[in-house]
Amino acid sequence: MPSVSLPSRPLPHNVLALALRSVLLGGVTSVSLASIAAQAEQAASRHYALAAGPLEDSLNSFAQVAGISLPFDPALVQGKRAPALRGDYALQDGLDRLLAGSGLAVTRTVSGNYLLVARGQDTGALELGATTISGQGLGATTEHSGSYTTGAMQTATKLPLSLRETPQSVTVITRQRMDDQGMRSLDDVVQATPGLRLSASRPANSEFFARGFPITNLMFDGLPTTYNADWVASADLAPYDRVEVVRGATGMMQGAGNPSAAINMVRKRPTREFQASVTGSAGSWDNYRSELDVSGPLNQGGTVRGRMVGAYNDRDSYQDYAGRERGVFYAISEFDLTDSTTLSVGASNQNDNNNINWGGLPVNPDGSHVGFSRSKTFGYSWSHQDVENTSVFVELDQHLANDWRLHLG
């Protein structure tokens, strides 16, 4: 059987373009179908022949003819009547005529369903009024912040930078953490700070180490001093808001610096609102402690403020003749000389009376225990070491433009 071959013809340009146009516009057409259908339903007219009667019956008949679902609470239409509806009406026009004078209206929900509600009734849409949102970030002061961190510290650079922005290894022990963990002295802070070590070989005071070197850089409110375990007792924490620790040399602040660390004790400051607190604690070996903290304005305008902190601690020990009595007093006043200038004057005193015992107990040549009781010491009841530290300070703060501050002390 002979075969017949027909030459292929390319589709006309206008036919191909029409096909592509149909494919591209198909998605757009499908998206708008729902919207078009809803508009058509609203605009379509139907013929109604409803006699006047109870509103409930008229609405049910209307919904059946219109082909819609119209749920409603029977209590809304109870005792209400609808007028006669005869003729051709669009959906919304017919509903408006039936509900005229009834105090009711038909609304359409987001899902497209119809719902009968009282005029002015909330249809479920939530309309929010003006909302004011305010917040306050963490500042440098940690008292009453409830936080274990601070918003800014200045020990490493003298600039109020956050811990994340500070280009050295730093730790801040806040007032909240001191209270939560029962820290009472600088010894407790050193033990809680990563990278620092406490040597308590001395009976009345301790030595601090970091990175293999003794810590001798001790600062109060950023002003450097020298710490010597021979004549400086471990500071009580009652007068302090926080303790900032910088590990490594602090050459920017103290010349060549020290390769170990620097410890900055930041004092509490007077508050603009009155506050007072009294706390007490008791522990084993007759360890009793009480604290008093009072702060607030000293004049009506609040331009003069004061604060007083006192603490007393008396404790014995499991060792014979060992014990300590400590008294702490701190007072400070602030004077606002101008809106940007503040003068601070304060003083503190810490008095430690210690019954001490140098050294430990001997052991046998082979290292075994001799058999002394745990409380045994070779000290005497009359041996003691009393250490008293007193400081007086005056500071002037001048706030400059662009958040700069001049601090003299």
Domain ranges across the chain: 46-118, 169-267, 275-363+378-408
Percent of the chain with pLDDT over 70: 81
Q: Residue 55: enclosing H or E segment and its boundaries? A: helix 55-66
β-partners of residue 408 are 396
Whole-angstrom distance, CA of residue 57 vs CA of residue 178: 75
| pLDDT at residue 255 in the model | 64
CB 280 within 8 A of CB 271: no
- Which residues, listed in sequence order, are joined to residue 207 by a DSSP beta bridge? 199
* pLDDT reported for residue 232: 66
pLDDT tens string 44-84: 788 888 888 888 888 888 888 888 888 888 888 888 888 88
Q: How confident is the model at residue 36 (pLDDT cuts 50, 70, 90)?
A: very low
The mean pLDDT value for 388-406 works out to 90
**What is the C-alpha separation between 82 and 61, in angstroms, rounded?**
12
Q: State the chain's mean pLDDT as an integer.
A: 81
Two structure tokens written together for 188: 């407790």
Confidence at 186, pLDDT banded by 50, 70, 90: very high
Q: At what angle do helices 91-98 and 55-66 cross, to 10 degrees?
A: 170
Of 333, 357, 214, the closest CA to residue 271 belongs to 333
Q: Write down the pLDDT at residue 253.
A: 66
- Cβ atoms of 323 and 375 within 8 Å: the answer is no
- Predicted TM-score (pTM) of the model is 0.64
C-alpha closest to that of 176 among 99, 246, 251, 243: 243
Six-digit token pair at 319?
A: 């060792």
Give, to the nearest 10 degrees, the angle between helix 91-98 and helix 13-43: 10
Q: At 405, list the tokens.
A: 């501050």
Confidence of residue 39 (pLDDT cuts 50, 70, 90): low
**Average pLDDT in the 208-219 region?**
89
Q: What is the pLDDT of residue 67?
A: 82
* CATH class, range 46-118: alpha beta
Is the confidence at residue 257, as pLDDT, over 60? yes
Classify residue 287 by burial, with Cβ atoms within 10 Å: 0-12, 13-18, 19+. middle
The second-level CATH assignment, the architecture, of 169-267 is Beta Complex (2.170)
Closest C-alpha among 183, 184, 199 to residue 350: 184
- 358 φ, ψ (degrees, to nearest 5): -80, 140
- SS3 state of residue 46: strand
C-alpha 102/C-alpha 61 separation (Å) is 17
Of 327, 319, 153, which Cα lies nearest the Cα of 242?
A: 153
Backbone angles phi, psi at 215, to 5 degrees: -90, 120
Q: Using the predicted structure, report yes or no on whether residue 32 has a pLDDT greater than 50.
A: no
Highest mean pLDDT among 144-148, 275-279, 373-377: 275-279
Residue 229 has pLDDT above 60, yes or no: yes
Residue 120: its pLDDT value, please? 64
pLDDT grade, residue 124 (50/70/90)?
low
d(CA 57, CA 369): 104
Instruction: Report yes or no: 175 and 142 within 8 Å, Cβ to Cβ.
Output: yes
Fold match flag (46-118 vs 169-267): no
pLDDT band at residue 196 using 50, 70 and 90 as cut-offs: very high
Residue-wise pLDDT for 264-319, tens only, equals 999 999 999 999 999 999 999 999 999 999 999 999 999 999 999 999 999 888 88
Helix (H) or strand (E) holding 74: helix 74-77
**Residue 43 — very low, low, confident or very high, per pLDDT cuts 50/70/90?**
low
Q: Is the pLDDT of residue 4 over 60?
A: no
